[in-house]
Structure 1
Amino acid sequence: MSPRHRIVLSLLALCGLVVLGGCQQSGSRQDPSDFLPLFGDRGNDNSPVLARVGKVEITQDDLDMFLEELPPAMHRRYEGADGRRLALKHMVDKAVLALGAVERELYNDQDVARTLISRRRETLESAMTNYGLLLDKEPSDAELQEFFQEHRDKYRQLGLVKARDLDTSTKADAEAAYLRLKMGGAKNQYPYVVKDYCVNEELRKLDGDLGWFNDGGVIPIIPNSQIFTTKAFALPDGLNPPFQVGDRWHVVELYQRQPARSKTFAEAREQVRKDMMPGFQDAIIKDYLLDARKHFEVQMFGEYGPGQGMTVEEIFARAMVLPEAKDKLDLYTLIHTDYPESDRADDALFMAAQVAIEMFDDTRIAGRYLQMLIDEYPDSELIDDATYLRDNINDPKLLRRLRSGGAVGK
């Protein structure tokens, strides 16, 4: 079992047992065994018992997991046989403290109970998100290629030049070096001229060869390198007269150039995946939440109940002017979930779809909002636009128009 799985399972064990204390009525007494185990992952552990604290057994596997789960900076502290003995001592100390807290019924303290409850909630939420929903979920190759085509302009290989350079402290030295290089001959090549004039020791070691760089790129050995590369990149190929950057004078020869070009899908694939994953995962979570609200029969009461508190028009107007896309989306979906019978519910779903497309590049969840509008509000005035947008949601021209603030249109 991987350390990642062990950590999560250990946390779930903590939630399922130790955190029970946070669920009890104040003043209730619990069996100490309700809080076990304190270590491990609740798997089949047949390894030797190394220590026993009351009913708590600490096994070889428990010790191994404890060491695995430590932050990297602490690993050295527990290296070797003495380190493992020290780690076991610390585990015993933790067990003694935990059992002491149970014996004193500290789980009934409101601050303790609040912490236990919040950790249970956060752990279960994280478990559902990372294991229940997202574990091993990856976009298909077809989805990656579709994303790549929609954002093709983003995936470009920058133009590059390959150059030699020498830098001097004075204009006179730079001009003298330039004249020698221009003269040509065996002793007037860069390796020789660099040694005679260049004041940059790192550049001297390279015989003046900078290798490849792009417009505005960083070259660590060159002072003010981004200004230098911007100027050098714009020079014509071949040997160029001296130019100044900061307190240095440079003599540059460009001897190879690669023009900017679009990357192939194979070249860009890993970057495409990285760019796509946040929206891909967010869509999975949002999809689940849309269904789960119905499954768990969510109800709101008091001032938060349907028709109470702020009016739908106030919420809709607020969503329209909010600058942050996530805040807009939250309010539009709030209208649908909390005011499903209002005249604005279909408008809110349509606007949510547009926000998902225009600001998150998330056509998957946008399509889900549009389908909900079509299914739940068949008499909506937006039904034709919603149907058209759903059916053409991957049309690059339509997406570009929407992202530039244009109407859906046909």
Structure 2
Amino acid sequence: MRITVLSLIFLMSGLMVLFGCGRGEEPIDEKELAASVEDWTLTKQALEEVLQKLPRSQKKKYDSPRGRAELADRYLAEQLFYLAGKKIGIENTESAKKAIDEALRRIIIAEYYKNYVEKEARPTEKEMLEYYESNKDDFISMEVRRARHFFSKSKDKIFEMKERIDAGEKMTELTVKYSEDQTTKRDAGDLGYFNPGGFIRFVGYSQKFSDAVFSLEPMVVSDPIEWEKGWSIVVVTEVQPERLRPFDEAKSEISRIITSRRIDLAKDQAVQELKERYDARNYMQETAEQALRSPEELWNLAQTTTDSYERLRSYQEIVQRYPNSEYVPQALFMLGFVSAEELMDFVAADRYFRQVIASYPGTDVAKSADWMLQNLNKPLPEFKDLDDLHEKISEESKKSE
């Protein structure tokens, strides 16, 4: 067997079978094995599972008896390299130790990030449901259609074919014989599934063609349709109507949306907490402190930008870098306000408002934070600026007393 650099890259990729695959105390029937060496085994079932997870191009390459044999041989070669390396103690060489340490370091970082940073950014079931209820328009799937067509660049030919179809000849048979669309004619003109204005097999992007097809009744042969490339006769074979995707179907997408919005802040907070826990110092950062923006500059930046995440970063920087600044109480309040009113992140908002109340009890900003806590996800009174908001909240609080 010839082992190439490409083979080694393949073996070192995420497609590897774990060492000892199929290893166990009970013997395995040889009929179930794809490969083995010493006490390492690769079962046919494990090989099949790997095959199904391959990218489409790779799967096509190995989806045959000969291909499966080649795939099994790749994993067998991997295990042989492992056995040979272990026998000579290659893991004890300096280069191997360095590689193992670096690999372990990356694994630890990735696992910590996933379990302790990303976890903080992930939404609860309640938050996902609230997001879904507030953004249902985002989860409406457009109508999807499937159609067949007969294509010709000749107007005379297309009208001749329409007459023959109307006279009783089968459109599918005429398409296979005479259509000038070489992409779909073997499939009797099948254009596959597409939505309004979307990409269509052979057609590409054609609003004119799409509009015509979406005006047709299902299973009715159209009159000749003229569009950019020529002429088509179309029949819609299937219609999947517009629908609101149910919450359970949209949940994973909602989780990704909310997590992606929160992850930067979660990471910044985690890093700051760990810096304090381990007394870490960034000497380059300390050297650059003189170039940092002042609390006032950060506050003004947050007031002028329309990017909610940029605003959060500015307020966060005020709180973290200038804990004794007079801007901190308002910055904490605004972290909660932006989280609630602009990002609909009520968990983060709750945390920030409670921090304001605990850190600055009895102050006007704490009273405003308390009112915001009691009225999360409810309409706010109209206001001109932050001072006006505090005044309006004070008025609302007095009304409810």
The partner residue of 1:218 within 180, 183, 199 is 199
Name the SS for the 1:343 alignment partner.
coil
For residue 214 of structure 1, what is the amino acid of its counterpart?
Answer: N
The partner residue of 2:321 within 334, 338, 344 is 338
Distance 1:304 1:273 in 2: 37
Name the SS for the 2:93 alignment partner.
helix
Distance change (3 Å), C-alpha of 1:190 and 1:392: farther
Cα displacement (A) at 1:280: 6.3
What is the root-mean-square deviation of aligned Cα atoms in Å? 4.8
Name the SS for the 1:166 alignment partner.
strand
For residue 206 of structure 1, what is the amino acid of its counterpart?
Answer: D
The partner residue of 2:232 within 247, 250, 265 is 250
Write the deviation string for residues 343-379 of structure 1: whole angstroms up to 9, x where unpaired: 2112212332344346655332232222212221235
Distance 2:271 2:265 in 1: 10
Distance 2:172 2:74 in 1: 53
Distance change (3 Å), C-alpha of 1:292 and 1:126: same
Distance 2:102 2:328 in 1: 33
Residue aligning to 2:161: 177
- Comparing 286-295 with 89-98, which one deviates more in the overlay? 286-295
Residue aligning to 1:97: 93
TM-score by length of 1: 0.60
- 1:213, 1:229 within 8 Å by CA — same for their partners in 2? no
**Unpaired runs of 5+ in structure 2?**
1-18, 20-24, 26-37, 43-53, 59-70, 384-388, 394-401
Distance 2:119 2:348 in 1: 19
Distance change (3 Å), C-alpha of 1:299 and 1:380: farther
Name the SS for the 1:275 alignment partner.
helix
- Comparing 325-334 with 296-305, which one deviates more in the overlay? 296-305
Distance 1:146 1:361 in 2: 9
Distance 1:312 1:382 in 2: 18
- Quick check: 1:149 aligned with 2:146? no
TM-score by length of 2: 0.61
Distance change (3 Å), C-alpha of 1:87 and 1:323: farther
Distance 1:373 1:300 in 2: 28
**Unpaired runs of 5+ in structure 1?**
1-39, 41-46, 48-59, 65-71, 102-111, 402-406
Write the deviation string for residues 168-189 of structure 1: whole angstroms up to 9, x where unpaired: 12122122223344xx3432x4
- Comparing 83-92 with 333-342, which one deviates more in the overlay? 83-92
Residue aligning to 2:22: none
Pairs within 5 Å for 1:193-208: 193-195=174-176, 197-208=178-189
- Quick check: 1:79 aligned with 2:62? no
- 2:144, 2:196 within 8 Å by CA — same for their partners in 1? yes
- 2:340, 2:377 within 8 Å by CA — same for their partners in 1? no
- Quick check: 1:240 aligned with 2:235? no
Name the SS for the 1:250 alignment partner.
strand
Cα displacement (A) at 1:328: 3.5
Residue aligning to 1:165: 149
Distance 2:362 2:159 in 1: 80
- Comparing 142-151 with 232-241, which one deviates more in the overlay? 232-241
Write the deviation string for residues 2-41 of structure 1: whole angstroms up to 9, x where unpaired: xxxxxxxxxxxxxxxxxxxxxxxxxxxxxxxxxxxxxx9x
Distance 1:280 1:61 in 2: 47
Residue aligning to 1:312: 295
